[in-house]
Amino acid sequence: MHFEFDESLALIRSSAREFARREILPQATEIDRSGQIPRNILQGLAELGMMGVAIPEAWGGAGATPIAYVAAMIEIAKACASTAVTMAVNNMVGEVLLRFGSEAQKERYLSKLASGQVLAASFALSEPESGSDPGSMRTTARREGKGWLIEGQKQWITSGDFASFFIVWARTGGNDPALQGPRGISCFIVESQAPGLSIGHHERKMGLRGSSTVALHFEKVWVPEDALLGELHGGFKIAMSALDGGRIGIAAQAIGIAEAALEEAIEYAKERHAFGRPIADYQAIQWMIADSRTELDAATLLAYRAAFLKTQGRPFTREAAMAKLFATEAAWRVVDRALQIHGGYGYVAEYDVERHYRDVRVTRIYEGTSEIQRLVIARSLLRGQI
């Protein structure tokens, strides 16, 4: 058993760290304020291979492993959580294409996304009436000529306003009773220019303000036969397998945000004086710091374990859910303590911890809420998978 990074992992982590510190961190406040990530940051990340960390080099990616992805994601999220989620969605879409796409789909979409020829793609699963329960989605696709006609609405779509293409899930079972719920769903690639597709409401969010979150409207959007991704009616499995990997990414994102908050809290505690001494001298502050470091280390080990299993091609659904559940809940506590250590200054935008506090909250919600992670973990145990 090894707890050390090998040379290639250390290299990916240090290149992500260096880019994050040099190019992203100095702009993080402005990204949050303006609601936009500068194009050169996304381009720079793609040039480093960060938009397709585990995608083979032949398809424009870094050709690294899911373990390297965790390491890189922590570093990027430490600088800017909005940039990190944009990277996370691109990587998730890339992995869906790698695993389920035809050679032609990989050629047309994957290599462009991983290499940065296109800046973003979106993962369009959630709808206004179905988030935790995607099997109840309402968007439909029915055959029309030599293709499909998609109608419906998607909600909460990250990067949806500047994505070049979308991975979209829709019901393809019609009225067939055997194809209701999760069984009658298929997956399509829809280009942003497709007639009938329009960008709807932009969410005004508590945090992650640099990342855009929009609704998508599909009004008779026609896509050709070869837009079908994977098997007909096989879309639910694709979504679940993508979310397994995505959850490791969100665990890493939460860890990165909390790492930044903890570092800042330690520095602040050493500088801030109360009752004639640095507040770091007080046991109450020391315990908060000690608990935070311990919980973050545990979260990091869980994330790397899930990534290790994925790298080995072994089942990792439960481990990814455990990593996401623990890391996001722990990160929330760590950032809350960091804000507490900053006192009143933690509550104002002058200090970055205020941004981390807003940013970290959503990690307990998206890519499956904490309640859904518990459900996944419990189901696997109750099925006897020990």
Positions annotated as catalytic residues are 367
Number of residues that bind ligand FAD (CB under 6 A): 23
Please give the residue whose beta carbon sits closest to ligand FAD in the complex: 131
Which of 158, 172, 192, 373 binds ligand FAD (CB under 6 A)? It is 158
**CA–CA gap between residue 50 and residue 251 (Å, rounded):** 17
Which of 123, 165, 316, 332 binds ligand FAD (CB under 6 A)? It is 123
- The half-sphere exposure of 254 on its side-chain side, counting CA atoms within 13 A, is 36
* Shortest spacing between CB 238 and ligand FAD, in angstroms: 13
Contacting range for ligand FAD; rule: CB under 6 A; set: 40-48, 151-159, 183-191, 303-311: 151-159
SS3 state at 273: strand
CA-nearest of 110, 77, 116 to 95 is 110
DSSP H/E element including 140: strand 140-144
Token code pair at residue 325: 């559940």
How would you class 370 by CB atoms within 10 Å of its CB: exposed for 0-12, middle for 13-18, buried for 19 or more? middle
Which of 89, 96, 185, 187 binds ligand FAD (CB under 6 A)? It is 89
Which of 109, 156, 162, 165 binds ligand FAD (CB under 6 A)? It is 156
The neighbour count for residue 174, using CB atoms within 10 Å, is: 12
| Residue 81 in the binding site for ligand FAD (CB under 6 A) | no
Give strand pairing partners of 216: 154, 199
Do 265 and 289 meet the contact criterion of CB atoms below 8 Å apart? yes
| Residue 131 in the binding site for ligand FAD (CB under 6 A) | yes
* Shortest spacing between CB 337 and ligand FAD, in angstroms: 23
| Residue 213 in the binding site for ligand FAD (CB under 6 A) | yes
| Residue 244 in the binding site for ligand FAD (CB under 6 A) | no
Q: How many residues appear in the chain?
A: 386
| Residue 367 in the binding site for ligand FAD (CB under 6 A) | yes
Binding site for ligand FAD (CB under 6 A): 89, 122-126, 131-132, 156-158, 205, 208, 213, 362, 365-369, 371-372, 375
